[in-house]
Amino acid sequence: DARVTQTPRHKVTEMGQEVTMRCQPILGHNTVFWYRQTMMQGLELLAYFRNRAPLDDSGMPKDRFSAEMPDATLATLKIQPSEPRDSAVYFCASAQAGVYEQYFGPGTRLTVT
Amino acid sequence: AQTVTQSQPEMSVQEAETVTLSCTYDTSENNYYLFWYKQPPSRQMILVIRQEAYKQQNATENRFSVNFQKAAKSFSLKISDSQLGDTAMYFCAFMRVTGNQFYFGTGTSLTVIP
């Protein structure tokens, strides 16, 4: 049963600390998305990659957020320094070339105090 | 820009009854995809159903079906024989064929009442 995995599932950290979230897309999927979900803003696209190349990161605050795909099996989203307003659930999703459904991971719930 | 509107923040339905969730969208594109995702309390986003804009036939997946009205830019989800496990947030999403980017609505919280 192929699925997207995300670690950690929960993260509590203090303001100013670095946070790294990881995502393993479904094997064979070549497109990876990062979303943020909050009560106020709903689901927002932060960035996405195709074949490991960043295609769009316009939804991401550039001064503190960065996203990378070191290899085809790992995507990372980093926040440095973290702020309380970054508290949210961060989802990773992956999609297969030519297929339009996105498959979501279970999310990382981030709390910044 | 594409926008997706779900005008019903909350809905409830009796178990075994039928409920319809509404979604409208705004786009100048002619070729696109529409989706309904379900997010139960576990937070996992689960694909419920998808519809290709070039297809006139409405998509159906077991108890879930859509009413796709392209001219009206409307894409409603009908859940028949509602079950307790259908209790969740439901998100409508739009995707252009060129780009892969999803645009989500704000969601409808559905409660199935025993």
- State chain B's mean pLDDT as an integer: 93
* Chain B touched by A54 (CB under 8 Å): no
The CATH number, out of the four listed (2.60.40.420, 2.60.40.10, 3.30.70.520, 3.60.20.40), of the domain defined by the range B3-113:
2.60.40.10
Helices then strands, each counted (H, E), chain A: 0, 11
Which candidate from A43, A91, A101 shows the least CB-CB separation from B47? A101
User: In whole angstroms, how large is the CA radius of gyration of chain A?
Assistant: 13
CA distance A22 to A37: 16
CA distance B92 to B105: 5
**Predicted pLDDT at A63:** 92
**Over the stretch A84-104, which tens digit does the pLDDT of each residue have?**
999 999 999 999 877 788 999
- State chain A's mean pLDDT as an integer: 93
**Predicted pLDDT at B1:** 65
Are B100 and A50 in contact (CB < 8 Å)?
A: yes
Write down all domains in chain A, each with its CATH number in brackets: 19-98 (2.60.40.10)
Are A48 and B33 in contact (CB < 8 Å)?
A: no
Residue ranges per structural domain of chain B: 3-113
Does residue B97 register a pLDDT over 90? no
Q: How confident is the model at residue A25 (pLDDT cuts 50, 70, 90)?
A: very high
Does residue B12 register a pLDDT over 90? yes
Q: How confident is the model at residue A1 (pLDDT cuts 50, 70, 90)?
A: low
Of A73-77, B43-47, B95-99, the range with the highest mean pLDDT is A73-77
User: Parallel, antiparallel, or unpaired for β A31-38 and A88-95?
Assistant: antiparallel
Work out the average pLDDT over A49-74: 91
Does residue B41 register a pLDDT over 80? yes
**Predicted pLDDT at A66:** 95
Residue of B43, B52, B97 for testing the chain A interface, max A β-carbons within 10 Å: B43
Decide if B104 contacts B75 (C-beta within 8 A).
no
Examine residue A106 and say whether the peptide bond preceding it is cis (omega within 30 degrees of 0).
no
CA distance B36 to A90: 19
